[in-house]
């Protein structure tokens, strides 16, 4: 969040500074909304019977706020390397994945050390079946996200920012999800999906150490690749 001295500051301005249009600040609305958010939190605790629900709600708010404040776009992280040669978001996503790995593996490791069973660590991992369906599904998802102008998180964030296009995306996103669920028997057979077929890397490699080495090694490789690609595109563009 620190700002840097830029070459711009010592250059002559390109045009006369435009005065921002006079408008009432939106901050009062933000405060009203904040009060409603807090009220909703209390309601959720009462309705759900546990403070956990207010915590989850708060995390959701924080996630949306962070996405918007940083202009964070996962779609752009995947799309820009190809479309514009920019990898700044890609590298940021890799860093996010690395931080996530540190935190998640700490939680998993704690569970493992408690009982000595890798299976207990596995329960805390976001495990899902892997197979051809992952490839096809991931491909379709990436394609749809670029066309729609945002992925799952991006769509929700932009709904909050006032993009009516994303308000149109979401009902079709829901419809597509329902269609995906209803057609499950068809693609389950077509791709030979194993509903319990998740692969937990520490279990596959026989321990946390090899898994973490591989994970951080791969993440570093992706980061370096993205960095190289970004520099290369910048050089070519100049």
Q: In whole angstroms, what is the distance from residue 115 CA to residue 117 CA? A: 5
| Dist. CA 62–CA 42, nearest whole Å | 17
From 45, 118, 163, 229, residue interacting with other proteins (rule: CB under 8 A): 163
Q: How many residues bind other proteins (CB under 8 A)?
A: 155
- Which of 45, 118, 200, 229 contacts other proteins by CB under 8 A? 200
129 is a contact residue toward other proteins (CB under 8 A): yes
166 lines the binding site for other proteins (CB under 8 A): yes
- Which residues 89-128 are close enough to bind other proteins by CB under 8 A? 89, 91-93, 95-101, 103-105, 107-108, 123-128
Residues 37-66 close enough to bind other proteins by CB under 8 A: 37, 44, 47-48, 52-53, 55-66
Cβ atoms 51, 45 nearer than 8 A: yes
Whose CA is closest to 96, among 67, 124, 120, 68? 67
Out of 38, 45, 120, 144, point to the residue binding other proteins (CB under 8 A): 144
Please provide the DSSP assignment of 31-94 as one string. Answer: HHHHHHHHHHHHHHHHHHTSTHHHHHHHHHHHHHHHHHHHT--HHHHHHHHHHT---HHHHHHH
CB 226 within 8 A of CB 94: yes
Min dist. Cβ of residue 116 to other proteins (A): 18
The reply on whether position 225 binds other proteins by CB under 8 A is no
Among 134, 206, 228, 232, binds other proteins (CB under 8 A): 134
């Amino acid at each position: 969040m620190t700002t840097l001295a830029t070459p711009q500051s010592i250059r002559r301005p390109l045009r006369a500074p435009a005065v921002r249009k006079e408008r009432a600040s939106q901050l009062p609305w933000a405060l009203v909304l904040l009060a409603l958010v807090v009220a909703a939190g209390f309601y959720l605790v009462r309705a759900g019977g546990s403070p956990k629900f207010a915590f989850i709600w708060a995390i959701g708010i924080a996630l949306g706020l962070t996405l918007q404040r940083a202009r964070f776009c996962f779609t752009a992280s995947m799309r820009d390397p190809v479309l514009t040669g920019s990898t700044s978001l890609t590298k940021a996503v890799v860093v996010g994945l690395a931080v996530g790995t540190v935190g998640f593996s700490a939680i998993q490791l704690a569970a493992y050390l408690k009982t000595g069973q890798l299976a207990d660590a596995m329960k805390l991992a976001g495990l899902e079946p892997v197979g051809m369906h992952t490839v096809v599904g991931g491909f379709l998802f990436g394609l749809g996200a670029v066309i729609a102008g945002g992925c799952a998180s991006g769509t929700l964030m932009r709904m909050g920012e006032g993009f009516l296009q994303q308000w149109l995306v979401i009902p079709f996103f829901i419809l597509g999800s329902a269609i995906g669920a209803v057609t499950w028997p068809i693609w389950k057979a077509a791709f030979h999906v194993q509903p319990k077929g998740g692969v937990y890397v520490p279990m596959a490699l026989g321990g946390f150490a090899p898994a973490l080495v591989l994970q951080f090694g791969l993440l570093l490789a992706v980061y370096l690749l993205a960095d190289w690609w970004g520099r290369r595109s910048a050089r070519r563009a100049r």
